[in-house]
Amino acid sequence: MNAHSSPAANWGIIGHEWAVDYLRRSLRHGRNRHAYLITGPAAVGKMTLALRFAMALNCEADAVERKPCGVCDSCKRFIDGNFQSIGETNEPDVIIAQDYVKQRTRRDTSSGRLSIDDIRLLIETTKSGSAWLYLKPYASRYRIALYERFHLVLGPAQDALLKSFEEPPPAVIQILTSDSPAAILPTIRSRAQIIALRPVPKAPIKAELRRRGADADHAELLARLSNGRVGWALGALEDDAKLQYWQSALDQLDDVLAGSLLQRLKIAEKLGSIKWVTETGEATEAGQRVSQRVALYNLLEIWQSFWRDVLLETYDSPLKPCNINRHAEIRRLARSMDRAAALRAIIATRRAMNSIDQNRNTNANPRLVLDALFLDYPALK
């Protein structure tokens, strides 16, 4: 099957063919559900799939095979990116919940978090008019609400949305995306069709990077580092800052490993309290726990990929490391420590990630997590 006839091709999705195939079949048989929950690692392509599915749902083409056609009025609104714009007399038929709330209230929703009040805005009809969710479609077949990073929405706010899942309004389809299925209330999860996306193989990511003009070495490096997260790879091709962030995260790890116990604890203190710059370049205050935790989690993910490479290297594996541009350093480290120490470092990093993830909505101090992690990291000879 060549790229043009593959089922995912006219959806413009890299990988995830089974998911496109599944959604297309439900379109064909008119068996669309009222709610979908798309899960998978950050930047793996959840929101891209959600948007393409929304586009296909409202596409005016006759044949399912041609949806989304890209030329009908509805498709054009998606392609132009103005599908959410609010007209003088009408509300948009398709919204990204965070954007809609921001337009309506001017509240900053960039953290992805929606409050109970934000959810009420969507579902509670007031004197001034019907809530968005209970309006009839204006110019489309369906009204579609997309929720980005729904794992950041706290339980009580999720709960406020539950009624719309229990008694879904006709012609409304809600699509949630979440990095972590466990962060979604079971009552919501059980009422949604779950689409669990997995990391995409390296080859299609590399091919897409090449198609977009990357030279072979750069495409290989980004495809490896992406670990199957298409969005990261394509973003890093557009914006060098992502790769720089990755490299500075590994430089930071070098400092930890080279440091004495005291120096390590000082680094933990610094990382636990300083202003953070995320890989998208936004500075976050230590007080903004959610953003700080996302940034810290990203950092630990990068370290984890590095430790996996070191462990692999202790086996003299013919497989090339993910961090291929640091192969010499990985080889050196693998020689200077035993396999058990590399394994311990991976497990400790994973444990720290879990701890950050589970406490993402509490004020638990990330510094304590880092203290414990750095004590577990090997001392280099």
Binding site for Zn ion (CB under 5 A): 59, 61, 68-69, 72, 75
Q: Which residues pair with 94 in a beta bridge?
A: 144
Helix (H), strand (E) at residue 152: none
Strand order in the sheet with 94-96: 94-96, 143-147, 172-178, 35-39, 193-196
- DSSP class of 149: T
Contacts of 78 (CB under 8 A, 6+ apart): 51, 54, 55, 68, 94
Query: CB 56 → Zn ion: shortest distance, Å?
Result: 8
Nearest residue (CB) to Zn ion, 50 versus 59 = 59
Contacts of 381 (CB under 8 A, 6+ apart): 336, 337
CB atoms within 10 A of CB 173: 22
How buried is 324 (Cβ within 10 angstroms: 0-12 exposed, 13-18 middle, 19+ buried)?
Answer: middle
Nearest residue (CB) to Zn ion, 58 versus 98 = 58
Nearest residue (CB) to Zn ion, 60 versus 239 = 60
Q: Which residues pair with 129 in a beta bridge?
A: 126
Closest CA to 40 of 253, 197, 162, 201: 197
Query: CB 137 → Zn ion: shortest distance, Å?
Result: 15
Nearest residue (CB) to Zn ion, 68 versus 228 = 68
Query: CB 312 → Zn ion: shortest distance, Å?
Result: 46
Query: CB 83 → Zn ion: shortest distance, Å?
Result: 12
Nearest residue (CB) to Zn ion, 10 versus 178 = 10
Query: CB 161 → Zn ion: shortest distance, Å?
Result: 29
Nearest residue (CB) to Zn ion, 83 versus 306 = 83
Nearest residue (CB) to Zn ion, 146 versus 341 = 146
Closest CA to 325 of 220, 253, 255: 220
Query: CB 165 → Zn ion: shortest distance, Å?
Result: 28
Query: CB 9 → Zn ion: shortest distance, Å?
Result: 16
Give dist(CA 99, CA 28) in Å, integer.
Answer: 30
